Structure 1
């Protein structure tokens, strides 16, 4: 019944999901990287008082909760549609490293937050900035995890279209081996303090394991992630994911690099905006 409903009403391409994820991420980061710092300094724009601007801030963060689940889902789709998996991993690694500086100066500073001297800013805030890494690292770890899980599927599991997950296992020990990459990846993400830590890596694994059961993927993914503080607001994202139609959409070819580059570039832009706002206020 649910499969028939999905086939009939699925209307969202991967390109549409990417745009939704980018827009909601941008809204979230405006709140977390600019508005939050203004509130801390007692700067309330548009004639609002503190209570009103906090409501605006909260709703911007709620909207922003949609982006991460969509990116996790698209990462799994990318595993199966990429022509060069090693290049895919390399791209994720490169943008993880490139993005880290901008991530730190926008979100992980508490002292002298409008200092344009980036080196000095990081030195003054290194205890906080050095303890976390950006979301690209979480996605990179998740990609490596599901790559290993797929290799285990291909080597030890038998395809079975009548099976719940699309495969059967002859040896229960293989299932332990199957879940091990997710456990190790989650621990690594937690150790390096990557954004969403093990929650993000596990969500990627859930989307991968239940890729042939889209309804269950959305349900289990949401139930799991909603246990992380504030992520219950991500429900619309999981609904949109369910209505994914399997088509690429209008973002094709090298335009995918625009999506990659948007992350570090918009962090830099918002940092410049924060410098300008604080400069005008002073």
Structure 2
């Protein structure tokens, strides 16, 4: 979302530029939020007005109103295009920005600005500490990849630091196991048998330990230290995102880290990021469609548009959608 440098070539390359990717992401996000704030709230009112008391009545109502029932679902699946594109642009922005500090400050400031319209849009409440906006996820993700870069690739550590390799493996494995347990895979498994989430943590730690015990046998100390930085950065910032209950939370941080680590091959990086999202939340499967524009990305900035337009679009459109829904009587208002 920050500056993506234009190519030094004087001729415009064919393909899709950074500005076009940003616009695609914004349109997808708007569709998603329009559906969530207006259409789905209106649908809830229609069902409430129909006074449906049994499952059979609800099924009959759904079958007789396919547009209202399936339309929002389709639109929200289109909305899944947005987040992976924003992640991809975040990685591009980090790679090319002149000041990571300024980039981080911009994300933090707009995370604060966006919180009230985000609360109103999704909960019709001015204060709602149970769910935080996506700017905070992107901010934490930026710090995560900065930490990976700074502590894993730029600094030289004493060889004794490699002794933390297996503890770091266990920490990352437990974190990934936790995400697995609270995501779609855990929900499917728990539909057959209720399994406490800490079992998933233990299983994740054990599985990754076995994998790295085999894969890491020939790694030198420098490579092990790099893995330690990666594992601890993902686990630390992912845990913070989970505790703060940000949009996409720990899954978002893992997705950002994966796209950053494989950034040398843009299509592969994006595909792996979409895989992380989809495995942990099946509703994100339509994100793969965005492999098409990403594969056409030419590395150019594109037409120059003030970057603060892209930052401001998020809180402004959420505020407008809430006001429209409120005026139409679709949603109410509460302080908390």
Q: Please classify the TM superposition score into its range, dividing by the shorter chain length.
A: 0.7 to 0.9
CA contact (8 A) 1:39 1:50 kept: no
**1:13 corresponds to which residue?**
17
- CA RMSD after TM alignment: 2.4
- Pairwise CA distance, 1:179: 2.5
Deviations 1:40-64 (A, max 9, x none): 00089xxxx6321122111110110
Q: 1:70 to 1:156 in 2, by over 3 A?
A: farther
**1:232 corresponds to which residue?**
285
2:45 to 41, 58, 72: 41
**1:161 corresponds to which residue?**
none
For residues 217 and 156 of structure 1, what CA distance do their matches in structure 2 show?
A: 26
For residues 25 and 195 of structure 1, what CA distance do their matches in structure 2 show?
A: 13
For residues 156 and 76 of structure 1, what CA distance do their matches in structure 2 show?
A: 24
For residues 140 and 29 of structure 1, what CA distance do their matches in structure 2 show?
A: 21
- Pairwise CA distance, 1:243: 2.5
Partner-residue secondary structure (3-state), 1:226: helix
**1:76 corresponds to which residue?**
91
**2:135 corresponds to which residue?**
136
Does residue 206 of the first structure (1) align with residue 258 of the second (2)? yes
CA contact (8 A) 2:271 2:288 kept: no
Q: TM-score, normalised by structure 1?
A: 0.79
Partner-residue secondary structure (3-state), 2:313: helix
Does residue 250 of the first structure (1) align with residue 303 of the second (2)? yes
For residues 304 and 35 of structure 2, what CA distance do their matches in structure 1 show?
A: 27
CA contact (8 A) 2:267 2:291 kept: no
Deviations 1:118-170 (A, max 9, x none): xxx44xxx6xx22110000000000011111111212249xxxxxxxxxx973
For residues 221 and 134 of structure 2, what CA distance do their matches in structure 1 show?
A: 33
**1:115 corresponds to which residue?**
none
For residues 92 and 229 of structure 1, what CA distance do their matches in structure 2 show?
A: 28
- Pairwise CA distance, 1:88: 0.8
Paired residues for 1:149-188 under 5 Å: 149-152=148-151, 153-156=153-156, 170-188=222-240
Deviations 1:48-102 (A, max 9, x none): x632112211111011000000000100111122122211111100000110011
- Pairwise CA distance, 1:178: 2.8
**1:162 corresponds to which residue?**
none
Q: Which moved more, 1:264-273 or 1:227-236?
A: 227-236
**2:106 corresponds to which residue?**
91
CA contact (8 A) 1:206 1:221 kept: yes
For residues 223 and 73 of structure 2, what CA distance do their matches in structure 1 show?
A: 49
- Regions of 4+ moved over 6 Å: none
Q: 1:10 to 1:68 in 2, by over 3 A?
A: farther
Paired residues for 1:53-64 under 5 Å: 53-64=68-79
CA contact (8 A) 1:222 1:238 kept: no
Runs of 5+ in structure 1 lacking a partner? Answer: 1-8, 110-120, 158-167
Runs of 5+ in structure 2 lacking a partner? Answer: 1-12, 50-63, 158-219, 331-336
- Pairwise CA distance, 1:171: 4.3
Q: Which moved more, 1:98-107 or 1:224-233?
A: 224-233
Does residue 26 of the first structure (1) align with residue 78 of the second (2)? no
For residues 85 and 115 of structure 2, what CA distance do their matches in structure 1 show?
A: 21
Q: TM-score, normalised by structure 2?
A: 0.67
For residues 172 and 81 of structure 1, what CA distance do their matches in structure 2 show?
A: 27
Q: 1:171 to 1:210 in 2, by over 3 A?
A: closer
Deviations 1:8-33 (A, max 9, x none): x9711110100000001001100001
CA contact (8 A) 1:210 1:217 kept: yes
